Amino acid sequence: MSEFRGIADEFKGEGEKLMGDVTFNRSEQDSGRAEQDIGKANRAESEANRDWTRGGREKDEAKAAGDMGEARFYERESAQDQSNRNY
């Protein structure tokens, strides 16, 4: 019986050590997953910023086209007014 007690004493604390290793590995995995999630969030934010910039640029282009159309309208009006004065 004392022989078994000696063996048990020899391995005493090994269970806590193994559980500590498992816990450490889990926290490393969780940390890795968190870093991946942060990377995904950063990529999504970058994509959203690109979309927003692209949308803003398209809006600016449409506004510029509208302004050009308005300018052409007033040029035609002006030309027509001058034409009417010549008569």
What is the pLDDT averaged over residues 52-72?
76
Domain boundaries, the chain: 2-86
d(CA 51, CA 55): 6
Comparing CA positions, the residue from 65, 87, 84, 86 lying closest to residue 76 is 84
Q: Is the pTM of this model over 0.75?
A: no
Q: Give dist(CA 78, CA 71) in Å, integer.
A: 10
Query: Cα dist. 46→38, 39, 59 in Å?
Result: 12, 11, 20
Determine the straight-line distance between the first and last CA of the chain, rounded to whole angstroms: 128
For 19-50, what is each residue's pLDDT tens digit?
555 555 666 666 777 777 777 887 888 887 77
- E strand or H helix at 35: helix 14-86
Average pLDDT, rounded, for the chain: 70
Sole residue written with tokens 């999630």: 37
What does the pLDDT average to over 12-16? 60
